[in-house]
Structure formats: structure tokens, C-alpha cells
Amino acid sequence: MSEATSKTIRLIITRQEGPKSAPYEESFDVPYRPNMNVISALMAIRRHPVTSKGEQTSAPQWEMNCLEEVCGACSMVINGRPRQACTALIDKLDQPIHLKPMRTFPVVRDLVVDRSRMFDALKKVKAWIPIDGTYDLGPGPRMAENKRQWAYELSKCMTCGCCLEACPNVNSKSDFMGPAPLSQVRLFNAHPTGAMNKAERLHAIMGSGGLASCGNSQNCVEVCPKGIPLTTSIAALNRETVVQGFRDFFGSDYI
């Protein structure tokens, strides 16, 4: 027996043909099935792209990959909140359900955005641990268990962009890199091997677009789907950059 019922759900999607096109809204009615998420509703629209007014239209575009809130690709603004479409369950959303692209990033088409500014920021802060060669370097230094535990929490970042979308200081007129890349600086500086490049990473966030652009609105920590303590990271980095500033001035032999 089919699980489908006669109930329908309504989605209002903000669409956009291309990066420079004007946005517009289209509304769709989708047959309800138990346990649907926003992705399955979008897939139903894609199979039958007809608006609530009965007009044939193009299939809305969106990105998705892992479907288990690990890749961050399906981030969009759902009923006013930036989050992943894969974990947005229809039964838990008020209707009609409004889907919009994250406006902090340039819109490519419909719900697809270009998150390059986040990846560029990760490059700027060197959010990786450089190793010399591909040969076996051995197990490396151990991390204290309490440090490993909080560092693990920071490592859950999936570069989804929700924290940048929620931050009032990240926008097209600002070069602020946003909370996620900052938190990655704290993560990689905490690693025993990554600490070798600590000063380099701190210098990258002491300049334009770095820490000083944070207005401490604390929206980021409210929306992060992984519960990453972003404001704690930012506070810790504020302390570390002050110490780095003294080191730069007096020389690292003295501090």
C-alpha cells in the first residue's frame, strides 16, 4: 500500500535565472509523504515542475551531496534560517515553506550559491598542516586528551556557510572572512604539528578582513548546525593575536 496521502505541502522558492538576473518567487504544491525532508520535496518538484497555478516551469536548481549534514552543499535559507535542506524535515516546518538562497554569497542560479569566499579565506589562513613529502612520518606528537576533545569539535566544520549568512558583518561590501575560517585557525594552531605555522595564521587574521571585523553579534554560534563554539574560538584568537602582537614588537625570545 502506498504511504502517500491526499495532503499536500506548499513550497515558495525564490528563484533566479543567473547571477545578474532579478529574483522572483514561484510556489509549488507537492504531495505529502511521511518523513519527507526539503530535498525530497525539491526532487518531487524536479520530477514535475508545475507551479501551484498549474503553469509549467523549469526545475529549480539546488546543490546536494552527502544527504547527512556532513558536506554542507545543500545549505539554503529555510523559513528564514540558514541550514541544510537534508536535515530540514517537512513535519517540523511551518507552512508554506519558504526556500531562499544564502544571500551572503553570489547566487549562481535559484538556490545554488558560490561559496568561494569561504574557501579563499581557508587558503588565506593556511587551514591545513603542511607535511614534508609523502613518506611515513611516524605517529607524530600526542595531543592531551582534553585538548583533543575540544579540537575535535572544531574539526566538525563542513564549510556550509550558515555562520557567514547569519553574520551581519559578512556581506558583499565587507572583506570579513567570517567565523568559520577564524575557528579553523584555532583548530590548526592547536595541533602539535600545525603549531609550527601558528604565527603565520595569526598574522593572516590580524590584517584586513580578519578578527577586527567581528562585531560580536553572536548569530554565528546560534545557527551553526554542528554546535561549534565559534565565539569561544574568536575570544581565544583575540587573546592569541594580542600575544602575537607583543611577540612581533619585542621579539619571540622575550614572550
- Out of 14, 16, 104, 159, the residue judged to bind ligand SF4 by CB under 6 A: 159
Q: Does 73 interact with ligand SF4 (rule: CB under 6 A)?
A: no
- Out of 97, 177, 228, 237, the residue judged to bind ligand SF4 by CB under 6 A: 228
Q: Is the peptide bond before 101 cis (omega within 30 degrees of 0)?
A: no
Rounded Cα distance, 17 and 25, in Å: 11
Binding segment for ligand SF4 among 92-100, 134-142, 156-164, 246-254 (CB under 6 A)?
156-164
Binding segment for ligand SF4 among 8-16, 209-217, 222-230, 240-248 (CB under 6 A)?
222-230
Beta bridge partners of 220: none
Binding segment for ligand SF4 among 51-59, 88-96, 154-162, 234-242 (CB under 6 A)?
154-162
Rounded Cα distance, 122 and 241, in Å: 18
22 to 15, 18, 75, 115: CA distances (angstroms)? 9, 8, 21, 20
- Out of 45, 77, 97, 163, the residue judged to bind ligand SF4 by CB under 6 A: 163
Smallest gap, in angstroms, from Cβ of residue 51 to ligand SF4?
32
Q: Does 107 interact with ligand SF4 (rule: CB under 6 A)?
A: no
Binding segment for ligand SF4 among 123-131, 140-148, 151-159, 199-207 (CB under 6 A)?
151-159
Q: What is the 3-state secondary structure (H, E, C) of 25-76?
A: EEEEEEECCCCCEHHHHHHHHHHCCECCCCCECCCCCCCCCCCCCCCCCCEE
**3-state percent breakdown (helix, strand, coil) of the chain, nearest 5:** 35, 15, 50
Q: Does 221 interact with ligand SF4 (rule: CB under 6 A)?
A: no
> Which residues, including other chains, have CB under 8 Å from residue 126's CB and lie 6 or more apart?
188, 197, 200, 201, 204
- Out of 76, 190, 224, 234, the residue judged to bind ligand SF4 by CB under 6 A: 224
Q: Does 160 interact with ligand SF4 (rule: CB under 6 A)?
A: yes
Q: Does 226 interact with ligand SF4 (rule: CB under 6 A)?
A: yes
Q: Which grid coordinates are listed for 173? A: 561590501
- Out of 88, 107, 121, 180, the residue judged to bind ligand SF4 by CB under 6 A: 180
What is the SS3 assignment for 4?
A: coil
> Which residues, including other chains, have CB under 8 Å from residue 211's CB and lie 6 or more apart?
182, 205, 234, 237, 238, 241
Binding segment for ligand SF4 among 8-16, 121-129, 133-141, 220-228 (CB under 6 A)?
220-228
Q: Does 157 interact with ligand SF4 (rule: CB under 6 A)?
A: yes
Rg (CA), the chain: 22
Smallest gap, in angstroms, from Cβ of residue 116 to ligand SF4?
14
The bridge status of strand 107-109 relative to strand 97-100 is unpaired
Cell numbers 546543490 correspond to 63
Q: Does 158 interact with ligand SF4 (rule: CB under 6 A)?
A: yes
Ranges within 45-64 binding ligand SF4 (CB under 6 A): none
**Contact residues for ligand SF4 (CB under 6 A)?**
72, 157-163, 179-180, 183, 224-226, 228, 230
